[in-house]
Chain A
Amino acid sequence: GDSVTQMEGPVTLSEEAFLTINCTYTATGYPSLFWYVQYPGEGLQLLLKATKADDKGSNKGFEATYRKETTSFHLEKGSVQVSDSAVYFCALSDRTTGGFKTIFGAGTRLFVKA
């Protein structure tokens, strides 16, 4: 079945450092790929998405490219801020007979120090 694997955390960085959070997936179909972010005490919110191979999703300085050949969707940001401290979830959504299904990775907690 479909699955999502993302790097374990926590990841601790200093402000203005470069961020990479790795995410790989397995899927039988042609899924859409997402990064969701969860700030402390809140629900998940969409950070960025890509719906087909070679698409690049971007938002708030974060980027991720849908790489079908390596089945990856790594999240990157050139210069993190303290306010980026949160838990990041990689996810895929794919059509099913009954509609669609979403699979989430385990989440990666990011701490950014001032």
Chain B
Amino acid sequence: EAQVTQNPRYLITVTGKKLTVTCSQNMNHEYMSWYRQDPGLGLRQIYYSMNVEVTDKGDVPEGYKVSRKEKRNFPLILESPSPNQTSLYFCASSSTGTGEYEQYFGPGTRLTVT
């Protein structure tokens, strides 16, 4: 089954404790992206990657890091989480071959930073 998986689905942590949210896709997509969803703001892009070793900032990259060492994986790293990073996070992937840019989303990771 074609899918995007994220782990963990729920995470409660404390300020300053480094964490990683994993994302993996099995569709051989070139493009992967991380979004955060906050009430009334829709989805805002954090980082995206057009292919292995190619990453770029989205609209809200501060406080986040990413890496793309393999095509299927795109982890999101919070080196020193803060309460304003409490949010619902989505990973997404897309094939760039068609030029239509439709994205496939993971189930989401709800992060709470206290």
Q: Could you list which residues of chain A lie within 8 angstroms of chain B, going by C-beta atoms? A: 4, 32, 34, 36, 42-46, 49, 51, 89, 93, 98-102, 104-107
Contact = CB atoms under 8 A, between A and B. Distances in A.
A42 B41 CA distance: 18
Interface string B41-72: 11111001010000010100000000000000
14 contacts: A32-B100, A36-B105, A43-B107, A44-B90, A46-B102, A46-B104, A89-B42, A89-B43, A100-B31, A102-B103, A104-B35, A105-B42, A106-B41, A107-B42
Contacts of A89: 42-43
Given A46-B102, A89-B43, A100 B96 contact: yes
Interface residues of B, number: 27
A1 to B, nearest CB: 9
Contacts of B31: 99-100
A73 B8 CA distance: 35
A101 B4 CA distance: 19
Contact of B101 (A36, A93, A106): A93
Contacts of A34: 102
- Majority DSSP secondary structure for residues of B touching A: strand
- Majority DSSP secondary structure for residues of A touching B: strand
Contacts of B40: 106
Contact of A49 (B33, B50, B100, B107): B100
Contacts of A93: 100-103
B42 A51 contact: no
B107 A42 contact: yes
B106 interface: yes
A99 B96 contact: yes
